[in-house]
Structure 1
Amino acid sequence: MSLVTFAKIAWAVGVAAWYVLRIPFERKAKRQGVADARHRTAREIILLSISTLGLGVVPAVYAATSFPRFASYPPSLAQVAAGVLVFAAALWLFWRTHRQLGRYWSVTLEIKDKHQLITTGVYEKVRHPMYSAFFLWALAQVLLLPNLIAGPAGLIGFGTLFFFRVGREEQMMREAFGAQYEAYEKRTKRIIPGIY
């Protein structure tokens, strides 16, 4: 098996693991009523589609067909090993975040019935560890898919969702939790502890 094939398989296993990890939390979240769903908009659907294109569709096409071949390059063993480790870290953080959010998790921006603000565990240092996990996934994709289009597609796709969504999400949280969320914002960073 070539290193490129191994890297593609590692990426696919990571994506499958992400999906399997999410299933029980998605079921639990669907049973929780929604108090505020005003952010289910066409804009939100477009942003989620852009993210899915970058983290799912474009890399899947490359993994299955090597298209576009002109943008491919030979990876190093160190690069692929780093990609596997970063994807493992992304999956761990993804699982921890889901576990802590429990029934309050949602794909779209919404406040659940009896929603509580989570500020402990992985939420103690950053306000959006789920986004941190997705950025780690996108970084792993760059390392695992040696293609100048498919590799960075996740950073571009998810980055677009993040930068157009995070401000609106934080505004929604301020409206829902008031001074409690404002105090939380002052003592934490968005996605990188101590930095941003």
Structure 2
Amino acid sequence: MELLNEIITKILLGISHNHLVDMGVVVILTTTLVFIDASQRVAIEVLRYNLDNSRKNTVVNCLTTLLWYGWGRGTYTNEHGESKRYLMSERLRGDLLVKLCIQYPAWMLLSIIFVSLPDIPIPTTELFADQVFAFVFMAIPFLSECWSILENLREIVEDDLIDFGKWYGRMIEIVKVWRGNG
């Protein structure tokens, strides 16, 4: 027990205030991106429910799907003949739990451990290997969420869940009317 206390004390004394502030910023940004990612996943499930059940993706249909229909089983069946659940996605809940409770705290802990190591200079640079690794480990959750958001956007576009051409045309019309030449 004494050895464990000594190790923890050594690690905590090796962390600078700047690194803790950087970690706080990364945690706040990552939390924001997790919220955006989860919102995108819910929106994808709503759009997919409407598509699979031959409903147009109008504002009213999306709202009723989000508030009522999407929580039940749709008429779409998979290759095993089972009807699909959309918003009650076990994968969405499981992924969020693993990310927030296991993966991201582990990356932050690795960052803390590496920043508390003795400085290991990288030849011909002013950088230290321990600080570079600590920064990379700290940035992994943030970058992971960025990639997840991009994957969600790609899924929306590739599966034609939203007709972006139609939305772009509407936005151009709104801008023209607003400017007075529409």
- Using the size of structure 2 for normalisation, the TM-score is 0.33
- Using the size of structure 1 for normalisation, the TM-score is 0.31
Between the two structures, name the one with larger relative contact order (CA 8 Å, sep ≥ 6): 1
